[in-house]
Structure formats: structure tokens, C-alpha cells
Amino acid sequence: MSNEKTTHFGFKNVPVEQKQKYVGEVFHSVAAKYDIMNDLMSMGIHRLWKRYTIEMSGARPGQSILDLAGGTGDLTMKFSRIVGDEGQVVLSDINSSMLNVGRDKLLDHGYAGNIEYVQANAECLPFADNTFDCITIAFGLRNVTDKQKALESMTRVLKPGGRLMVLEFSKPTNPGFEKVYDRYSFSVLPMLGKLVTNDSESYRYLAESIRMHPDQKTLKHMMRKAGLDRVDYHNLTGGVVALHRGFKY
């Protein structure tokens, strides 16, 4: 009998050391059309979820912000304006294709001076202890192999008093709505993926990964276990998405 450790990649079980490669292939495939698909999949509502995250972040001029799994830079763009010339935003992603798309997009929009780009794994962040005033990870935690290890890594690089914001798909609070959402996720999303990116399988994985992600209360417990205090969460769009927030003391 095999002792090989496995984890989930969507609904499949895969060897732990292989998940990062499989997730990487998904995002290399979808990077170029990622923004278009986000707008189509959420009917533009992802912009409101991200705006709420910015408002709850408490970001101020002069601060240091880490936009982890920051992809195409939506949050980085807004944080860059808030922290100003005296502050710094680090856009970090494990996937080089996503990071390149984000960097090109930000440069095209005239963002340069206060943004740094770092390819990094959330489980072992290459930053010193107590570096950032705020860390955001939007729609990225569910793709991490060891989520608890990643939360602990994020907590380590937060400054005392700093906050971690986790914006992620979660569990809808209304059972009737959950059924409609399931039908949409497993029928419409792969079809959109096929039409826009010629890749239905990557979007099937994304739908499956949402179902395998810890629910609101479980993630709250995990954040507390990682050493964060005053952890709370806010359900958005009926719990389709939840914003979790915790503070380091």
C-alpha cells in the first residue's frame, strides 16, 4: 500500500508535490484572458468585491502592502494610488505568466515607481519578519497546496498591528441559491472557458477548487491557528465570496 501523500486538485487526488505544477499549468493557460474571463464569470461583480477589500484594508499613504497571488494587478493598482510615493506595493504571484500579464498591464496604465514584482510561493514567502502593514490574497488561497502553512507565512511577514485580508470564493448561505450556483459553475463556466480561452478544463478545475476550499468558519479557525487575532468575515453576494480579515499582535 502506497504511503505517498496526496492532496486535492479540484475533485481529483494528486501527489502533494505535483499540485503546484498542475495549478501552474492552469494559470499559464488562462493568464492572457484572465481579466476578460473574470468580468464574464462574475458579470463584473468581482470589481465590487475587490473595492470592498480595499475599503476594509485600512491602507494609508506611506504603508507597505503585499498583494499576494495578485495576478493581473487589480488590487495593486488601487493600493499604489493609496500608499503614494512614500509607500510600496509588492505584486507577488507564484505563476510567471500571471505576473508578467500584471506587470505589463500596470506599466501600460502608467504605474511604476512604488510597485515591485516578486515571483513567490505563499507557503514560504521570501520577505523578512514584520515587513508589511497589510497583506491581501484575492482568489488565490484555494490554489495553495498547504493553506495553513501559507497563512502562517503571511502572518510572519506582517508587522505587529498589520492585517491580513483573504478574499475568496466560499459557501453560499442560501441552499436554494447554492443549487443555482452549482449549475452555473459546472455548466456555464467551462463553456465560457471553451469559448474565450479554448480551455474548458481549466475552468472546470476552478469550479471544483471552489467546492474544495474551506468554508467561512473553517477558514476563520485556520487564520486564528496561524496566530491572527480579531478574525472576522463578511459574506458577499450571499456567501458566494467571503472576505476574511485578521490582525497580527
* Number of Cβ within a 10 Å radius of residue 156: 17
Nearest CA-CA partner of 30 in 43, 41, 18, 17: 41
For position 191, what pLDDT does the model report?
Answer: 82
Kindly give the pairing relationship between strand 64-68 and strand 88-93. Answer: parallel
Note the pTM of the prediction, 2 decimals: 0.86
Report the C-alpha gap between 215 and 210 in whole angstroms.
10
For position 189, what pLDDT does the model report?
Answer: 77
| Known binding-site residue numbers for S-adenosyl-L-methionine | 72, 93, 121-122
Q: What is the CA radius of gyration of the chain?
A: 17
Report the C-alpha gap between 231 and 176 in whole angstroms.
28
DSSP secondary structure string, 99-140? Answer: HHHHHHHHHHTT--TTEEEEE--GGG--S-TT-EEEEEEES-
Report the C-alpha gap between 159 and 162 in whole angstroms.
5
| Known binding-site residue numbers | 72, 93, 121-122
- Give the contacts of 175 (CB within 8 A, at least 6 positions apart): none
Topology of domain 6-173+205-248, CATH: Rossmann fold (3.40.50)
Assigned C-alpha cell, 34: 484572465
For position 75, what pLDDT does the model report?
Answer: 96
Q: Indicate the residue type of 24.
A: G
Residue 72: helix, strand or coil by DSSP?
A: coil
Report the C-alpha gap between 175 and 249 in whole angstroms.
37
For position 200, what pLDDT does the model report?
Answer: 76
Residue 102 near residue 73 (C-beta atoms within 8 A): yes
Residue 88: helix, strand or coil by DSSP?
A: strand
Q: Indicate the residue type of 127.
A: F
Which residues of the chain are modeled with pLDDT < 50?
1-2
For position 1, what pLDDT does the model report?
Answer: 41
Report the C-alpha gap between 229 and 55 in whole angstroms.
20
Residue 78: helix, strand or coil by DSSP?
A: helix
Nearest CA-CA partner of 89 in 109, 110, 118: 118
